[in-house]
Structure 1
């Protein structure tokens, strides 16, 4: 198999068209097409679905692209090293991050990373769903929670503690629950984005966890809307600490059970399984991890902060 054809295949997927790849490599469209066809013939599988509007990876193409990217990256780094540019980085990174962390610190962290590496471009989408990394062409995603896909690698960054909170206005009008079981008497604002646990809030006592089934007049899949409802005095919310950190510091919201909330989820950098992670991805992960740890107070209590 010709390594140059693998590199060309990687470029076709990244740029999205034969003509763009042809321009980059000073080739004709027909040469690019013939070399991709040669690669498919050697492998005995179709790698791309071709239409007049776009190119789409086949199942085999989705598997091969991860290896092809590694070949392309390794070639680039090797050439840079012998040319005296081993410390420079080039290329494109497509990533997805959660909306809360994206607004809180990742938008600034990633743009800072781009500024420090002029040869790199990053496309960062803010999305809470667990995207299809390979199918949608993501290089890395940042996610909170548990992962079931064994084909993905998850590198732990930090833990995210949850809190139960309400505004002083709500407490003055409806009273402060003395313990978590009293929540059944209150209007609880539910985070409907959760696949489970929106109405079952988890607490701990004497080294044991238990659930309190709550109810309320309002639920939403948008964390910002949930925060606004709590600030407005409309109910009690069960949310990630980082979402309301500044509100707690300013006493706009009150942490009702600072020692009793059991929910704590890991924040992970997730990427497709690979024996050798591209240097630019590894560097970005470390940059993001440093930013999370520098703001650990958003995610953990002072007693637990790393």
Structure 2
């Protein structure tokens, strides 16, 4: 039997407050009911989640894993509810938003300006920057970024996953041959993206077991700008690993050809990041939902 989401929320509340009694008081139920629901959750999952002593509660290893995942579910659900409840609310003021250059040019400039049209009292100042900015020092209300968030003082909400493709021009492949395996790329001129945390020529691939692994390729050109890499690829100078959204039109038109589609394993999460707060402003929540809807509307391009 699949655990009930309400029990997962109750579980996170217990860890956040460190007390069965406090959670029982918050939810207006008895302490014994709280205890029974957690015991039921543990039975359904087949693992112990919490070590209980008279003085404190301690998470087990599976309990820790469940806690972090369950908090994400709770936050996503609350954000969705809040966005709907504020649908007719008048949003006003000025928001400073930082977005990556590719997403900014392809999607977010239109999405943010449309959001302002829907809310005439709202002004948005958008900055395009691939480097992670200091939200607090630079006074940003919201930042859209890709990859892993390390700063625990910030909240990151997952919006979408961006799939990357390995591609080259038909002329390049006709001249140099089309690689049939990832290792065949070692005989090709690969174009590197220096913004990768792992290195410009450390490319990610999938095994048949769906596990990922890294293969170091090489080439005579690298750049910190994906659009520059796209131009170099279109010039027939090599094979590149690029975001699908950046080369979608060229792939559809046949100007570029996807290489090793079954082996490409790079998928990058797109996140909305804002300073930690128990209750972010309604305008921030509404804007995040608006951005997420825009990504979903053209998901085939990503």
- Normalised TM-score (structure 1): 0.69
Matches of 2:198 and 2:135, distance apart in 1: 23
Match of 1:298 in 2: 301
The CA deviation at 1:298 is: 1.3
Match of 2:290 in 1: 287
Q: 1:116 aligns with which of 111, 115, 118?
A: 118
The CA deviation at 1:190 is: 0.5
Match of 1:243 in 2: 246
Aligned alpha-carbon RMSD (Å): 1.3
The CA deviation at 1:295 is: 0.9
Q: Which runs of 5+ in 1 are unaligned?
A: 1-80, 300-306
Task: Describe the SS at the equivalent of 1:181.
Answer: helix
Q: Which runs of 4+ in 1 moved over 2 A?
A: none
Match of 1:257 in 2: 260
Match of 1:106 in 2: 108
Task: Describe the SS at the equivalent of 1:164.
Answer: strand
Q: Is the 8 A contact 2:98 2:144 kept in 1?
A: yes
Match of 1:216 in 2: 219
Q: Is the 8 A contact 1:231 1:252 kept in 2?
A: yes
Matches of 1:205 and 1:275, distance apart in 2: 41
The CA deviation at 1:98 is: 0.7
User: Does the alignment pair 1:267 with 2:250?
Assistant: no
- Normalised TM-score (structure 2): 0.69
Matches of 1:250 and 1:192, distance apart in 2: 27
Match of 2:196 in 1: 194
The CA deviation at 1:243 is: 1.1
Matches of 1:197 and 1:162, distance apart in 2: 16
Matches of 2:268 and 2:123, distance apart in 1: 30
Q: Is the 8 A contact 2:179 2:260 kept in 1?
A: no
Q: Is the 8 A contact 1:184 1:212 kept in 2?
A: no
Q: Which runs of 5+ in 2 are unaligned?
A: 1-85
- Could you report, residue by residue, the CA deviation over 1:32-81 in whole angstroms, capped at 9, with x for unpaired residues? xxxxxxxxxxxxxxxxxxxxxxxxxxxxxxxxxxxxxxxxxxxxxxxxx9
